[in-house]
Structure 1
Amino acid sequence: MNTISHPTYRWRRLRGSDRFAECVRVLLSLGGIVLWCVISHRFAVAIPAMLGAIACALAETEDHWRNRLGTLLVTMACFATAAFAIEQLLPYPLLFATSLPIATFLLVMLGAVSGRYATIAGATLILSIYTMIGADQPGAHALNPWREPALLLAGAAWYGVLSLGWSVLSPQQAIRHALARLFDSLADTLDGKAALFAPLPGVDREALQLALALQNEQVVTALNDTRLVLIDRIGTRRPRGATAARLQLYFVAQDIHERISSSHYPYDALAKAFFHSDVLFRCEHLLRLEAQQCRRRAETLRLRLPLEDDVQAATALADVHAAVDALRAQPRPPAAHLLRALDGLLKNMSAIRQQLAGDSRIATPVDDGDSALQDPGPGSLTDAWSRIRLQLTASSRRFRHALRLAVALLVGYGVLHLVHPQNGYWILLSTLFICQPSYDATRRRLFQRVAGTLLGVVIGWAVLQLLPFGPAQLLLVVISGVGFFAARQRSYSLATAAITLFVLLCFNQLGSGYEVMWPRLLDTLIGAAIAAMVTYFILPDWQGRQLHHVIADTIQTDARYLTQVLAQYASGKRDDLAYRIARRDAHNADAALGGMLASMLREPDRHRQDSEPLLRFLTASHRLLGHLSTLGAHRRAITSADALRVVTQAGDITTQALDRLADALASNAPATPFGDAHRLFEALEADGAEDDLATLVVGQLALVLALHDELAELGVALYREA
């Protein structure tokens, strides 16, 4: 029987899905609420209770059960404060209109403390509007003013208990899924890297390198997410057991990423030099096999299966060795610098192969000091307040978003009182979900929200026609709620359609399903219009205004990374915390630049610069990071004092040049090229020619300086456009 079609395998794949655990928790929470309401014949209380459960699920973070308990208590405190405050203030429109923007601004600024608090603050805003929607229903205040907040909190607490229990029973699940996503992203990068080695005519390597630079953002995000999950599990304790093993696997992934990022020599030049050889085809084949092994590693983490070695990759690696040896044995072998580039590439691919085969000895910290992770959370209340205070400036992206969202919700509240629509608080809900920190994100969310709402209304109308009432609708209520969480990370339009169907079916249980269809769509359109106008006119976050700061930070972090790398050619290889922070900062800056340029290209024409120099700058910057990664991948102590002196001198020249370039870009001033460094580096390379490692380092630094000159020229072009 085919393993893939075996029921046990299919069940493993379903259980190993990233969304499975959350969907099961939502299914249990919503199903439990519906079942209790059916038994007690009180379905009217189900709607606020289910909305509370959904809000708590949106506030959930991937914490260990100890931290999740603390997070749950903070979440419930925020929920209770918001729900009861709204219930008290809602009958007084002027007082409520004053409090709404202030509370919104404060909650968004609370997110400056950490990502965990940002998630809680966002969910608190959502629950606040759920409270308004519940209080707006006919007779809500007449029955009991505390009823809606109490039911919302009960639903949230019910989901919180389920989530806490799940975390106790599956403490390693979040780590496994984070690592699986990381290895999947590494596999995609390996495939993108392999495409660069095809020695075929007409290959647009500039476009391939641009795609690789943008793909690097996905790897960096996955690395950061995995680090946060590991920090949460380890805390201040020494890692043990499964957590220690997965920490080592995270370091393996870091080392693989550095090796994948490496660039030993310009790819066009390699393709031209080895056009009549099969060595680059063999390199491409090996990289694709290693990408497949990365995906198998991800699958074993998700499905909890043993890792099997890839015999094909071992054979392909031997073939590459044989091809390089054949080139070296030719009567007229290729130039020495080309063979050095192939040797360095071969060492990297061999190391990746060993790492994927389970040999974690390569570049993996073993000492407690080396294996420490930098905790991004606040160390104290003073630290938390200082983080918020630093963001209280108009130059802060968070500050501008907090101000825009506060104004947007205030305008929405004014509009609903002006036109008095049915279920008018849905305007605020749509505005909250659509209004994002950037124009590009708001634009995409706007179209997704409107399209999803329209689709949900159409599906809801069809369902109400086919199933006017009965138990089947109750089942669909639960399924649509689960569908929202299943789709929200992959397709926001489908998630919106699911939650729209959920709302229509819930209101239909109270006899008003058809009545809320068009108000839901109309309120979505009004909320979308408000979000769009506020994003465009109030402190708009046009990416071009911050461009010079972002590109300067990219070069500055590269210089710090180079400083850390060069120090280890004197002291010996050590993946300590300082080195890993410098490497992570460089890749984070590169990913931020890629994300910023991608977002800028979707902004209105008059608010963006010419795309060609920007994309060329991103590509050149990523190539520069590739040469730095090459130096990082080949770190080891240089034993010759003369060779070390040459490397130190060349490193100082390069680091100073990068620092000067960063300063010029930060001040938005024309950046001057370094000049003709070839003669200087030829002399330095000749001095260190007896040491192969020193020759490799000086050669890479020469390539970095050549890219420095290209970046300086592009900086001049960007300065003229600014």
Structure 2
Amino acid sequence: MTDYKKQSAWLQKINKDFWRNPNRMLALKVVIPVFVQSIPFLLFNNITAGITMSLGTVAAALSESDDHPKGRLKALTITIIGFTITTISVSLLKPFPLIFGIGFILSTIIFILIGGISERYRAISYGAILIGIYAMLVYHESSSWYLQPLLLCSGALIYGITSLLLLFRKPWRLLDEQLSSGFKMLSEYLDEKARSFANTQNHSKPNNKLSILNIKVVAALEKCKEVINIYNKEVDSNKLLPYLQRFMLLQSLHERAASSHEQYETLKEKIEYKELLEGFSELLHQLSHATRLLADNLLTNTTYSHPISIDWIISSLQYEIDKLPPHDKQLLELLLYNLMRSHQSLKKIYNIKESTSIPKLGVDNRGTWERIKEQLDFTHPRLRYAIRLSSCFLIAYTLTILFNLENGEWIILTSLFVSQPTYSETRKRLFQRIYGTMTGVIAGILLTQLTSSSGQLILILVSIYFFFYFLRTQYSYAVIFITIYVLASNSFNGETEVHILAPRLIDTIIGASLSFLAIRFLWPNWQYKQIPRLISNALTTNAKYLKEINTQLLHNNSDDYNYRLARRLAHKADNALTLAWQSMQIEPQKKQRLIQKAFTLTFLNHALLSHLSALGATNKNYKNKADDYLFIMNRITDSLFEAANTIELKQSKTTQNSLRPLLLELKEKTDKESNIEKKQHLRLLYNIAAVTNKLLKESNGIQSPPKHAHPQI
């Protein structure tokens, strides 16, 4: 009996570990169809057909997007139809190079524009381009025109049915995965914030890692919202309510986590506060641990148990704060209250009150034609990307025809994988692709030389598994394994690995170089040109966020949609500014014209957003005192709007939007105020005004480029 219990516990642990990582399920979903469909071809000694089917499976897996089972069925139908048309077109037109080349380039542009309709169509159109290139790779003049399309589409269909059956078995799994991802990203953010409290060294240095992690949290929130909206179209809203409540919890936890009431560096300078700050660091660590636990529970479908240690830490911190002098006590009381609310929200996660109405989420109501029409403009990023990618394909295809390259399609395939919408993303992908291919070729040759035929089949399955396992997290590793897969497949077909070594590497370098040159000379969109627009947008969204906070204070609205929307847009604008600064660092030296300015603006904007989040997170405390602060908040809001407008109008004004008089007034009011709550609120408003004033000064003189200026080439 004891052995049975041990075995049962061991199996439960394996089961939990498996479901805890969604990438394992994704990889297994691909490996199972590849293995099953290869068995009959192995028995009849026709492994080439099995390899062709596996390419269809890979393309179908890369064409999949997060969707409800009903939506997934629609997507699968469209995918198979698209794959069929594409592969048959390749089989019929490949013998006519000119006609095929024209059709291939035009279809690439059309597919990319169709991908702009929605995330579902983006994935399908990408898969359609990919399956077309795979069809070119496996094309043989001697084969019947229908054979390769049949094998490729059959492989795609088998994967699609497998994935669909698994989704019908666990229809809410995708929502659990997205919410879990959001809580995991939040956990990392809290963990980094904990380190910043514990770090008493370099306390004056901005913590840029927090801004970068905030990008991941906001991206996860956006993805959650997108998947919830997809499910909302297919199911009854009441069934979706528990997931909406988890999503709203994640949003509120993020707002509190992003909050900053004070610049705590002043306390770090005092040795006597070292232990107290370490206590706050430990509290943040524990909240990080709690959110990670919740993320794991969502994936493993187990009950969340809140850590009891957090209550003890909060009590200890409250006891120590009560001993502080009044000035320093005010610095930390709001912070503790804010973290205590996060603790209570997690502790009572299963006691959420039943909502009388479904929380409203933003939905894109544009029609299909409207979305396509919007892209038919040479200033639109997606059309530019389509032209860049099709240009790479045109050059690669021309080289293949002119020099009669045996596997010139590898150049086209590499261009597809390396080409990205921005310079920084393309450059990063270029190095990942070349490094992964070189490493994969060396490892693949060694492994295929050492293994038998059955061992090579295992190698194919293992390499496919790890390709999909690492695809979303470590692209370089994914490239290594897909390269090993290609070499093992060729070995099965009787080709020697050494024979394809040099061509494979040369094709990869040519394809990657084409992608790099395309983004370098066709609308590179350097970040220094984007900074004025991004800072203007950040100032505007921060102003709207503050305005909505003020509205929530004045009017106790049950529907806080406008407030949540303003908060989300402010975070997205902050993220865009941070990404621009990141991207600028890997652009050519002469294009880094505003890099120091971008760094300063990124830091200040994130600091302002942190203070606004603190104000928003604690606004319930001041609902009856809103009129006292109305003038102050309106003055800050007006200054932010004015500064944003100044940048858009390409003006340079330093005095109109200065908040120095307001800062002096706030300092005087704070010093005279005897009520502790009001004093805390005034200090928070002072910090918002102070950071805003610095932000206005730094952004002064920045001018937006003309909206329709020709891109620098």
Counterpart residue identity of residue 660, structure 1: E
Q: Using the TM superposition, name which of 32-41 and 577-586 deviates more.
A: 32-41
Q: For 1:68-95, what per-residue CA distance to the aligned partner results, in whole angstroms no more than 9, with x for missing partners?
A: 0011112122212222222232222222
Shift of residue 305, structure 1, vs aligned partner: 2.5
Counterpart residue identity of residue 326, structure 2: P
Shift of residue 188, structure 1, vs aligned partner: 1.4
User: Given the alignment of the two structures, is residue 615 of structure 1 paired with residue 594 of structure 2, yes or no?
Assistant: no
User: Given the alignment of the two structures, is residue 285 of structure 1 paired with residue 282 of structure 2, yes or no?
Assistant: yes
Alignment partners' CA distance in 2, 1:693 and 1:389: 53
SS in 2 for 1:143: coil
Task: Pick one of 320, 330, 341 that aligns with 1:351.
Answer: 341
Alignment partners' CA distance in 1, 2:369 and 2:51: 37
Alignment partners' CA distance in 1, 2:54 and 2:226: 30
1:510 maps to which residue? 493
Contact 2:650 2:703 in 1 (8 A): yes
Contact 1:31 1:478 in 2 (8 A): yes
Aligned length: 698
Structure 2: 5+ residue stretches without partners: 707-713
Task: Pick one of 519, 532, 535 that aligns with 2:503.
Answer: 519
Task: Pick one of 326, 340, 349 that aligns with 1:334.
Answer: 326
| 1:166-185 alignment, distance < 5 Å | 166-185=166-185
Q: For 1:30-57, what per-residue CA distance to the aligned partner results, in whole angstroms no more than 9, with x for missing partners?
A: 0111112123433221122111111000
| 1:226-625 alignment, distance < 5 Å | 226-235=224-233, 237-240=235-238, 243-272=240-269, 275-276=272-273, 278-327=275-324, 333-335=325-327, 338-359=328-349, 366-369=355-358, 371-376=359-364, 383-467=367-451, 469-514=452-497, 515-572=499-556, 574=558, 576-625=560-609
Q: Using the TM superposition, name which of 673-682 and 585-594 deviates more.
A: 673-682
SS in 2 for 1:19: helix
Counterpart residue identity of residue 405, structure 2: P
SS in 2 for 1:206: coil
Change over 3 Å in CA distance of 1:600–1:491 after alignment to 2: same
Q: For 1:507-561, what per-residue CA distance to the aligned partner results, in whole angstroms no more than 9, with x for missing partners?
A: 2222124333332222111111211111111121322222211121111111111
Change over 3 Å in CA distance of 1:694–1:110 after alignment to 2: farther
Alignment partners' CA distance in 1, 2:6 and 2:671: 60
Change over 3 Å in CA distance of 1:150–1:548 after alignment to 2: same
Change over 3 Å in CA distance of 1:691–1:567 after alignment to 2: farther
| 1:13-162 alignment, distance < 5 Å | 13-135=17-139, 140-162=140-162
Change over 3 Å in CA distance of 1:575–1:601 after alignment to 2: farther
Q: Using the TM superposition, name which of 26-35 and 483-492 deviates more.
A: 483-492
Contact 1:87 1:149 in 2 (8 A): yes
Contact 1:33 1:49 in 2 (8 A): yes
Counterpart residue identity of residue 292, structure 1: H
Alignment partners' CA distance in 2, 1:696 and 1:117: 50
Contact 2:467 2:478 in 1 (8 A): yes
Shift of residue 694, structure 1, vs aligned partner: 5.3
Shift of residue 428, structure 1, vs aligned partner: 0.4
SS in 2 for 1:191: helix
Shift of residue 610, structure 1, vs aligned partner: 4.3
2:685 maps to which residue? 701
Contact 2:636 2:659 in 1 (8 A): no
Shift of residue 245, structure 1, vs aligned partner: 2.4
Shift of residue 695, structure 1, vs aligned partner: 4.8
Alignment partners' CA distance in 2, 1:713 and 1:77: 57
Shift of residue 199, structure 1, vs aligned partner: 7.6
Shift of residue 476, structure 1, vs aligned partner: 1.7
| 1:663-702 alignment, distance < 5 Å | 663-670=645-652, 672=654, 673-676=657-660, 677-682=662-667, 689=673, 695-702=679-686
Q: TM-score, structure 1 length as denominator?
A: 0.91
Q: For 1:225-244, what per-residue CA distance to the aligned partner results, in whole angstroms no more than 9, with x for missing partners?
A: 22222222233644445x43
1:330 maps to which residue? none
Q: Using the TM superposition, name which of 430-439 and 568-577 deviates more.
A: 568-577
Contact 1:52 1:154 in 2 (8 A): yes
Task: Pick one of 216, 221, 224 that aligns with 1:223.
Answer: 221
User: Given the alignment of the two structures, is residue 635 of structure 1 paired with residue 619 of structure 2, yes or no?
Assistant: yes
Shift of residue 399, structure 1, vs aligned partner: 2.1
Q: Using the TM superposition, name which of 70-79 and 569-578 deviates more.
A: 569-578
Alignment partners' CA distance in 1, 2:531 and 2:199: 35
Counterpart residue identity of residue 361, structure 2: L
Change over 3 Å in CA distance of 1:264–1:575 after alignment to 2: farther
Alignment partners' CA distance in 2, 1:181 and 1:224: 11
Q: Using the TM superposition, name which of 598-607 and 708-717 deviates more.
A: 708-717
Shift of residue 681, structure 1, vs aligned partner: 3.0
Alignment partners' CA distance in 2, 1:184 and 1:580: 21
Contact 2:191 2:285 in 1 (8 A): yes
Contact 1:206 1:619 in 2 (8 A): no
Counterpart residue identity of residue 474, structure 1: L
Aligned-residue sequence identity (percent) comes to 27
Contact 1:609 1:721 in 2 (8 A): no
Alignment partners' CA distance in 2, 1:259 and 1:639: 18
Alignment partners' CA distance in 2, 1:647 and 1:3: 64
Q: For 1:385-437, what per-residue CA distance to the aligned partner results, in whole angstroms no more than 9, with x for missing partners?
A: 21222233233222221111111111111111122222111110011111111
2:710 maps to which residue? none
Q: Using the TM superposition, name which of 108-117 and 344-353 deviates more.
A: 108-117
Alignment partners' CA distance in 1, 2:501 and 2:277: 60
2:709 maps to which residue? none
